[in-house]
Amino acid sequence: MPLNADFVGREYPAAEPYEVSRELIRRFADAIGDPNPAYRDPAAARALGHPDVVAPPTFLTVLSFRYVVDSPMVDPALGLDYSRVVHGEQRFVAHRPVHAGDVLRVVSSVEDIRVAGRNEVLTTRTAVSTLDGEPVADIYSSVVSRGTAVATQEGEGA
């Protein structure tokens, strides 16, 4: 079944803010095997000009799993069948680095739905800001929904 294209632009604000801690950053850095002291030692991070330990560039991927209930991915009305999904693209745009102590507001939205052959590509944007509204990051993620596009006359069976 095709995705509901009316959902482009729809927003899914997370119910609660995300609190970034030193321990979460350390655990993520351990998991990606990165020994960079700026992820663990506040003094090392301050020497680089940060107020506290800094998060790795892909750290905010944790948001998509923390707030899965507040995301378009699980909205039954959008019609995404998770068993048909593969991760296609990911892009982080950082307005400033993420640090321990940040309290982040997270709003996901459906950025685009397009047909690519028999597949559909769903792009979501997650806007991350402070509670005061300072932009922190925009995260763009595209997933491929395999085989859910409506066959056009010339494209049928293609």
Interface with other proteins, residue 156, by CB under 8 A: no
Shortest approach of other proteins to residue 87 CB, angstroms? 5
Indicate the burial class of 113 (C-beta count within 10 angstroms; 0-12, 13-18, 19 or more).
buried
Alpha-helical runs (H) found in the chain: 22-31, 42-47, 62-66
- Strand pairing category for 11-13 and 119-130: unpaired
Shortest approach of other proteins to residue 144 CB, angstroms? 9
Interface with other proteins, residue 28, by CB under 8 A: yes
The two three-digit tokens of residue 114, written as one number: 């397009």
Shortest approach of other proteins to residue 34 CB, angstroms? 6
Interface with other proteins, residue 130, by CB under 8 A: no
The interface region with other proteins, picked from 22-30, 106-114, 122-130, 150-158 by CB under 8 A, is 22-30
Helix or strand holding residue 130 (H, E): strand 119-130
Q: Which of 86, 132, 152, 156 binds other proteins (CB under 8 A)?
A: 86
Q: Which residues pair with 142 in a beta bridge?
A: 89, 123
Q: Which of 5, 48, 116, 150 binds other proteins (CB under 8 A)?
A: 48
What one-letter code names the amino acid at 125?
Answer: R
What one-letter code names the amino acid at 150?
Answer: V
Q: Which of 61, 119, 129, 130 binds other proteins (CB under 8 A)?
A: 61
C-beta separation of 18 from 63 below 8 A = yes
Number of residues this chain uses to bind other proteins (CB under 8 A): 36
What is the contact surface with other proteins in residues (CB under 8 A)? 27-28, 30-34, 36, 38-39, 47-50, 54-58, 61-62, 65-66, 83, 86-94, 96-97, 140
